[in-house]
Amino acid sequence: MILFLIGADFVLTLADELIYLYGDIGRMTVVFQFYMQAWVLFALSTGMCINWLLKSLRHWHVWTLFIWELIFFGLICAAAMFPLLGAIDKIRDRMTSDAPHTLDGMTYMEYSKYYDMGLEMDLSQDYWAIRWMQDNIQGSPVILEGQAYEYRWGNRYTIYTGLPGVVGWNWHQRQQRAILRSNIVQERVDEVGEFYLTEDRMFVEQFLEQYEVSYIVFGQLERAFFPGPGLDKFEIWDGVLWDEVFRYEDTVIYEVRR
Backbone angles phi, psi at 253, to 5 degrees: -120, 130
pLDDT of 25 higher than 80: no
pLDDT at residue 236 in the model: 96
pLDDT of 29 higher than 80: no
DSSP state of 27: T
Cα 101 → chain centroid: 22
3-state SS assignment for residue 211: coil
**Angle, helix 201-210 to helix 184-197, in steps of 10 degrees:** 140
Q: State how far the Cα of 148 lies from the Cα of 167, in Å rounded to an integer.
A: 11
pLDDT tens, position by position, 111-156: 999 999 989 999 999 999 999 999 999 999 999 999 888 889 999 9
Q: What is the DSSP string of 85-109?
A: HHHHHHHH--S-TTSPP-S-TTGGG
Q: What is the mean pLDDT of residues 228-243?
A: 96
pLDDT at residue 24 in the model: 67
Q: Burial level of 122, CB count in 10 A (0-12/13-18/19+)?
A: middle
pLDDT at residue 189 in the model: 94
pLDDT band of 198, cuts 50, 70, 90: very high
pLDDT tens, position by position, 54-92: 888 888 888 988 998 899 899 999 999 999 999 999 888
Under 8 Å between Cβ of 250 and 219: yes
Domains of the chain (ranges plus CATH)? 2-92 (no CATH), 107-256 (3.40.50)
